[in-house]
C-alpha cells in the first residue's frame, strides 16, 4: 500500500456548512484536521450556489419590488425605477465571495489543512485525493446533496435549469415554469416574478410546501397568487422539449387525464435534493447506504465502519444547512471525547419568500396522526401594531401546545421576519417551555414578536388584541 502523504486525527470530506464547521470545531478541540473539497472555494453548495446567493437575490428583488410598487404607500415617490440585472448579479457575487473568503480565513486561523480535489476511500482508514493517499484515525463524510433529476426533463443549466442555473440567468425570462412547489422553487420563482417574469409552478401534490402545516400552505398559496404567481397542483411534467425560443412542456394530471402543453422561456427543475455519494468509494470502505441512498448512521453519527462518521444532507433528516452545522459541532465534540448532541425536535425551517414562512416542531396534521391531544393559539399580523406600521399585515403566528402539560409542540409563522421570530420559539422548545412561559414573557412594544406572545396567550383563549 502507498505510504500516505500525511496522517491526521480527522479528515472531513466536504467543506459545506456541516463539513467546514466540523473541521473548525475539531481543530478548536486540538485534533489535527484536514478537509477535502472539490470546489475551488470553500462553503459547499450553500455558500457558493445555494443559500447565500439565493438570499442575496431575494433581498435585492424585494427592494426592487418595493421601490417600484410599495413605497408610495409610505409617502415616498420614486420615479423611473429600472432593473440593473448585471448589477444585481454583481451584488450576489460579492456576497458569495465575502462568505467563502471568510471560511478560508477560518481554516487558516485554525490551522486546518485544505485538500483540493475529490476524495475516494481506498480502505477504511485511507482516502485518495488527486492521486495522493491520506490516512486518518477518523473520517467525517459531509458531501451534501445535489438536485434530484426528473425523467423526461434534461437539465442544461441554460433553458432547463436547477437552482444553480436559476441563480445566474442572463436576462429575465418572459415565462418561467417551476417544476416543484417546495422551498427552492418558491424562493427562486419569487425572485424572477418580482423582476418581471410570469411564473407558473407545477406541483405533483395537491398543495405547495407539502411538508409544512396545512393551514400555512393554503394561506401561502393565496398570498403568492395575489402577488402574481400561478399554480398547477396535482400535476406532473412528463416531458420537456427544447426549442429555438424556449421549452415546450407536457403536463398531465397526477391522477390521470388529458395532457396539455405549456410554453416557457426557462424551466426550473426543483423537485428536491438527493444525497451525494458518487465516486466516494464507500464500497471499498464497507460503508452501508439505506434504501434512499443515504449513509446509514446511528444516533452518534457513526456508520457501520469504525472510525467513519457522516453528517448533513448525506444522512437522514431535514436537508438544512443549520442542521448540518449542529451535527458538525456534535460529531467533532464526540470525536474529542465530549457529549455532542442535536435535538431534532427543535430544528427550525424557513422559506425566504415575502412574507417569510418559518416553523419548528410538529404540524397540526402530524399531531392528529400521532393521536396527540393539543390546543392551538393563533394571532394574525393584521392585529399587530408594528406590522400595520410596516404595511406587512399578511400572515399569522400559530402555537401548538400539549393539551395536558401546555408544553410547546410546534410553532408555525407566515409573516415579515418570520425567520427571526421563530428563534424565540426554537429556544422555548429547546428548554421544554410551555405556551404559558412564552405568554408570561415581556415582549417589547411595538414589535412583530408581540404576535408570538399573543398566539401563546391564544392557546388558553386569552389573547388581548383580538
**E strands in 14-129:** 33-37, 113-116, 119-123, 126-129
To the question of whether residue 43 is assigned a binding role by annotation, the answer is no
To the question of whether residue 279 is assigned a binding role by annotation, the answer is no
Place of cell 395536558: 404
Q: Which three cell numbers stand for residue 286?
A: 464497507
Q: Who contacts 299 (Cβ-Cβ below 8 Å, separation ≥6)?
A: none
Quote the Cα angle for 321-323-329, to 5°. Answer: 105
Coil vs helix vs strand at 387: helix
Handedness of CA 203, 209, 215, 218 (dihedral sign): negative
To the question of whether residue 185 is assigned a binding role by annotation, the answer is yes
To the question of whether residue 321 is assigned a binding role by annotation, the answer is yes
To the question of whether residue 257 is assigned a binding role by annotation, the answer is no
Phi, psi of 180 (to 5 degrees): 115, 120
Q: Alpha helices of 227-302 — where are they, by DSSP H?
A: 282-285
To the question of whether residue 461 is assigned a binding role by annotation, the answer is no
Q: Which residue is catalytic, options 300, 341, 445, 465?
A: 445
To the question of whether residue 213 is assigned a binding role by annotation, the answer is no
The continuous run of DSSP H or E covering 356 comes out as strand 356-361
Q: Which three cell numbers stand for residue 438?
A: 412564552
Whose CA is closest to 239, among 248, 228, 226, 227? 248
User: What CA–CA distance (Å, rounded) separates 127 from 217?
Assistant: 45
To the question of whether residue 311 is assigned a binding role by annotation, the answer is no
To the question of whether residue 335 is assigned a binding role by annotation, the answer is no
Active site residue 445: yes
To the question of whether residue 89 is assigned a binding role by annotation, the answer is no
Q: Return the bridge partners of 396, or none.
A: 380, 414
Q: Who contacts 49 (Cβ-Cβ below 8 Å, separation ≥6)?
A: 163, 164, 167
User: What CA–CA distance (Å, rounded) separates 371 from 379?
Assistant: 25
Neighbours of 219 (CB within 10 A): 17
To the question of whether residue 143 is assigned a binding role by annotation, the answer is yes
Binding residues: 55, 143-145, 180-187, 203, 272, 313, 319-322
Binding residues for FAD: 55, 143-145, 313, 319-322
Q: Which are the catalytic amino acids?
A: 445
Binding residues for NAD(+): 180-187, 203, 272
Amino acid at each position: 500500500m502507498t505510504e500516505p502523504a500525511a496522517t491526521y486525527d480527522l479528515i472531513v470530506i466536504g467543506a459545506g456548512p456541516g463539513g467546514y464547521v466540523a473541521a473548525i470545531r475539531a481543530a478548536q478541540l486540538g485534533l489535527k484536521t484536514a478537509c477535502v473539497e472539490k470546489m475551488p472555494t470553500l462553503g459547499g453548495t450553500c455558500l457558493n450556489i445555494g443559500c447565500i446567493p439565493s438570499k442575496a437575490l431575494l433581498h435585492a428583488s424585494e427592494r426592487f419590488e418595493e421601490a417600484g410598487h410599495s413605497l408610495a404607500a409610505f409617502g415616498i415617490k420614486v420615479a423611473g425605477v429600472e432593473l440593473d440585472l448585471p448589477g444585481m448579479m454583481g451584488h450576489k457575487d460579492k456576497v458569495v465571495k465575502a462568505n467563502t473568503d471568510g471560511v478560508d480565513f477560518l481554516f487558516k486561523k485554525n490551522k486546518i489543512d485544505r485538500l483540493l480535489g475529490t476524495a475516494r476511500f481506498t480502505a477504511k482508514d485511507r482516502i485518495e485525493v488527486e492521486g495522493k493517499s491520506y490516512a486518518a484515525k477518523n473520517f467525517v463524510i459531509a458531501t451534501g446533496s445535489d438536485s434530484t433529476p426528473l425523467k423526461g426533463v434534461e437539465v442544461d443549466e441554460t433553458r432547463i435549469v436547477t437552482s444553480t442555473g436559476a441563480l445566474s440567468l442572463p436576462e429575465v425570462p418572459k415565462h418561467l415554469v417551476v417544476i416543484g412547489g417546495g422551498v427552492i422553487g418558491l424562493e427562486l420563482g419569487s425572485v424572477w416574478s418580482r423582476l418581471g417574469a410570469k411564473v407558473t409552478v407545477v406541483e405533483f401534490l395537491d398543495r405547495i410546501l407539502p411538508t409544512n402545516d396545512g393551514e400555512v400552505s393554503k394561506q401561502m398559496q393565496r398570498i403568492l397568487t395575489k402577488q402574481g404567481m400561478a399554480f398547477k397542483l396535482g400535476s406532473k411534467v412528463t416531458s420537456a422539449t427544447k426549442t429555438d425560443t424556449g421549452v415546450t412542456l407536457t403536463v398531465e394530471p397526477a391522477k390521470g387525464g388529458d395532457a396539455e402543453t405549456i410554453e416557457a422561456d426557462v424551466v426550473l427543475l426543483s423537485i428536491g435534493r438527493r444525497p451525494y455519494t458518487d465516486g466516494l468509494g464507500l464500497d471499498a470502505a464497507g460503508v452501508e447506504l439505506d434504501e434512499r441512498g443515504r449513509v446509514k448512521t446511528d444516533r452518534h453519527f457513526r456508520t457501520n465502519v469504525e472510525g467513519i462518521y457522516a453528517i448533513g444532507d448525506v444522512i437522514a433528516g431535514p436537508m438544512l444547512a443549520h442542521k448540518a452545522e449542529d451535527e458538525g459541532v456534535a460529531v467533532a465534540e464526540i470525536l474529542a471525547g465530549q457529549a455532542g448532541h442535536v435535538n431534532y425536535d427543535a430544528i427550525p425551517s424557513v422559506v425566504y419568500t415575502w412574507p417569510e414562512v418559518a416553523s419548528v416542531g410538529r404540524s397540526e396534521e402530524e399531531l392528529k396522526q400521532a393521536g396527540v391531544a393539543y390546543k392551538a393559539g393563533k394571532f394574525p399580523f393584521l392585529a399587530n401594531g408594528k406590522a400595520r406600521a410596516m404595511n406587512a399585515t399578511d400572515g399569522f403566528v400559530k402555537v401548538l401546545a400539549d393539551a395536558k402539560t401546555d408544553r410547546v409542540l410546534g410553532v408555525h409563522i407566515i409573516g415579515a421576519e418570520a425567520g427571526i421570530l421563530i428563534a424565540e420559539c426554537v429556544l422555548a422548545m429547546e428548554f421544554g417551555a410551555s405556551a404559558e412561559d412564552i405568554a408570561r414573557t415581556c415582549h417589547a412594544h411595538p414589535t412583530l414578536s408581540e404576535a408570538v406572545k399573543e398566539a401563546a396567550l391564544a392557546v388558553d383563549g386569552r389573547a388581548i388584541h383580538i
